[in-house]
């Protein structure tokens, strides 16, 4: 039914203008469509990321969006960190750390939060064992 359809990550934010600045300045995203003061849609690779205004922003305690990286995870982490993005550290079973990157067997991952506390991830390698926060 839906297996052949694209899907978009949808993230709630409190202050759309502040969130736009963060997603555009820190992550380098470019808006492709806006709904006034309510929502902004970004194209990211072949996917979409929608941020929208909501009173429930930041209440999700799990990963809201994950970017699948093609071997450039470490460089991306360095670039984001240089732009002021702070990375999280999670105590996961059998995890080893390589700076801000979690190493779980063949998978490498880094997590960070947007200004509303939404958890975002970068992942490379085998993801069948991914357990995001």
| Span 65-108, pLDDT tens digits | 999 998 889 999 999 999 999 999 999 999 999 999 999 999 99
Give which of 6, 11, 16 is closest to 119, Cα–Cα.
11
Does some domain include residue 107?
Answer: yes
Q: How is the chain split among helix, strand and coil, in percent rounded to 5?
A: 15, 40, 45
β pairing state of 47-53 and 39-44? antiparallel
The verdict on residue 3 lying in a domain is no
As a whole number of Å, the end-to-end CA separation of the chain is 29
Total number of domains constituting the chain: 1
The reply to whether 1 falls in a domain is: no
Domain residues for 116? 8-124
Q: Is residue 133 a part of any domain in this protein?
A: no
- Domain membership of residue 132 (yes or no) is no
Whether the model pTM is above 0.95: no
Span 13-59, pLDDT tens digits: 999 999 999 999 999 999 999 998 899 999 999 999 999 999 999 99
CATH number at residue 91: 3.10.180.10
């Amino acid at each position: 039914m839906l297996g052949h359809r694209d899907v978009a990550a949808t993230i709630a934010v409190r202050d759309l203008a502040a969130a736009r600045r963060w997603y555009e300045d820190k992550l380098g995203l470019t808006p492709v469509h806006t709904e006034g003061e309510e929502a902004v849609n970004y194209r990211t690779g072949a996917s979409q990321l929608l941020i929208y205004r909501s009173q429930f922003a930041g209440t999700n305690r799990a990963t809201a969006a994950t970017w699948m990286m093609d071997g450039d995870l470490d460089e991306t982490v360095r670039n984001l960190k240089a732009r002021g993005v702070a990375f999280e550290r999670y105590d996961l079973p059998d995890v080893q750390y390589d700076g801000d990157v979690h190493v779980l067997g063949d998978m490498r991952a880094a997590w960070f939060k947007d200004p509303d506390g939404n958890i975002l991830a970068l992942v490379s390698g085998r993801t069948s064992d991914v357990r995001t926060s």
